[in-house]
Structure 1
Amino acid sequence: MIILGILVVILVAWQVDWPDWLADKTRHHLSFGSAIALVPLWMLQAGVKEGLELHFLGLTTLALMLGWRMGLLMSSVSLVLITLFGFESWSSFGVNHLLGVILPITFSYLLFVLTYSYLYRHLFVYIFVAGFLNAALTIAFKTLLLSGFMVWTAQYDWQTVLDNYLSVLPLLLLPEALLNGMAVTVLVVFRPNWMRTYLDRDYLINK
């Protein structure tokens, strides 16, 4: 899995317009600041069994703020940092990267694209659907992915995963949704230019 994750990162990095990114200092600070901000959030883990730790993601805000490509790259940097700090093991890096970063942020950005394409473009739709609801669905998606992997690889049986991991998921849905929903709201109101997926002409003007 680690090789697959590295290949994805290389392909994504290849598609980034680096000259344009390097020319914008605000994007530098925003990108690396977002990566650093995820580190303490991911350090706040809770879990009974090894490998079944739960923590808030914040990936929906990152996807909406930076876009899919840069969001994926910066969240990968965050994972490297918390692994270096000893909060995750290097032996689990490939799984954490693919199932905890790449697929969830891709899922979250895809949900945004679907809301942008098929729902009425309004500020409240952006905040409550692309932000609030999206975040809850993303953490559910990530938790189910990891649960399925643990059972499939026989690291834990289904009952153990259900009792020690999935049973806690309902308690995380609302906080994750609120965390991202409030972050998106504050950014849209006070720093809309920081949100790569938000434009006033789409969601606010003449609504």
Structure 2
Amino acid sequence: MFEITFMQGTAWIIYLAGIVFVLTRISFNQFRQNKKLQHLVLGSSVSVFGLWLFRVGIEPGLDVHFLWLTAMTLLLGLRWALISGFCTLLVSTVAGYDSWAMFGINGVLGISIPIVISYLIYNFSFHKLPRHFFMYVFVCAFLAGAAMIAVKMLLLSGYYYADGIYSGDTIYDSYLLLIPLLLMSEGMLNGWTMTILVIYKPTWVYTFYDKHYLHGK
């Protein structure tokens, strides 16, 4: 049995409780009957898992890779994005790319919070900013993607320091210094993904509505 710290155990409880809460608020009948939703949820999980395979890092745990969670949130909506992210993390952990001790931490700090932040930025943009195609792509996808990866790396850095796993100098030199290099890349990945989707497959995107972003513009 793997050993976990108090913070890791607490994160396990919080993450699994959150997933159970989300599961009680989605319709499995809808999922069984809606083939398009099945393909989108499963396809998103597979796509994100594929991106997560390409990771680099010096110290264990302090590795970086594309997340693509903002695009997944815009594509699926908040609840299904959280479920899809859980499936991706579960497969990644079972396959040995992530540790079971870190499952809760990765779920809360690396998936759930970035997805919620991405959805909150989308909500803010939808209700407070002009509803325009370029506003959707730039704010909801590009800026949200960049902000999401920065928040994820800052939160994980704080955890590694608070739990005494790495020193502040090690975290800064091996992890935090990479944030500026990843902001543009992650933002562009999410921005281009959503640009292509809303142009060629707008009916796939849960958060995009032609009548709000295109008609009359």
TM-score range for the pair, normalised by the shorter chain length:
over 0.9
Query: Residue 17 of structure 1: CA displacement?
Result: 2.1
Find the partner of 1:129 among 136, 139, 151.
139
Rounded to whole Å, the distance in 1 between the matches of 2:82 and 2:141 is 17
Rounded to whole Å, the distance in 2 between the matches of 1:63 and 1:74 is 9
Rounded to whole Å, the distance in 2 between the matches of 1:85 and 1:125 is 38
Partner of 1:162 in structure 2?
Answer: 172
Query: Residue 174 of structure 1: CA displacement?
Result: 0.7
Rounded to whole Å, the distance in 1 between the matches of 2:168 and 2:212 is 45
Q: How many residues align?
A: 207
Structure 2 residue identity aligned to 1:22:
R
Partner of 1:42 in structure 2?
Answer: 52
* Deviation by residue 1:143-162 (Cα, 9 ceiling, x = unmatched): 00001111111111211111
Structure 1 residue identity aligned to 2:185:
P
Partner of 2:72 in structure 1?
Answer: 62
Rounded to whole Å, the distance in 2 between the matches of 1:22 and 1:197 is 21
Which structure 2 segments of 5+ residues have no match?
Answer: 1-10
Identity %: 38
Rounded to whole Å, the distance in 2 between the matches of 1:86 and 1:157 is 25
Rounded to whole Å, the distance in 1 between the matches of 2:95 and 2:53 is 9
Query: After the TM superposition, which parts of structure 1 deviate over 6 Å for at least 4 consecutive aligned residues?
Result: none
Rounded to whole Å, the distance in 2 between the matches of 1:24 and 1:52 is 39
Query: Residue 21 of structure 1: CA displacement?
Result: 2.5
Partner of 1:7 in structure 2?
Answer: 17
TM-score using structure 2 length: 0.93
Partner of 2:185 in structure 1?
Answer: 175
- Aligned pairs (5 A) from 1:27-106: 27-106=37-116
* Deviation by residue 1:174-196 (Cα, 9 ceiling, x = unmatched): 11011110000000000000000
Rounded to whole Å, the distance in 1 between the matches of 2:129 and 2:208 is 15
Partner of 1:22 in structure 2?
Answer: 32
User: In angstroms, what is the RMSD of aligned CA positions?
Assistant: 0.8
* Deviation by residue 1:106-149 (Cα, 9 ceiling, x = unmatched): 11111111111110000000011101111000000100000111
Which structure 1 segments of 5+ residues have no match?
Answer: none
- Aligned pairs (5 A) from 1:165-204: 165-204=175-214
Structure 2 residue identity aligned to 1:14:
T
Partner of 1:153 in structure 2?
Answer: 163
Question: Tell me, what secondary structure is at the counterpart of 1:154?
Answer: coil
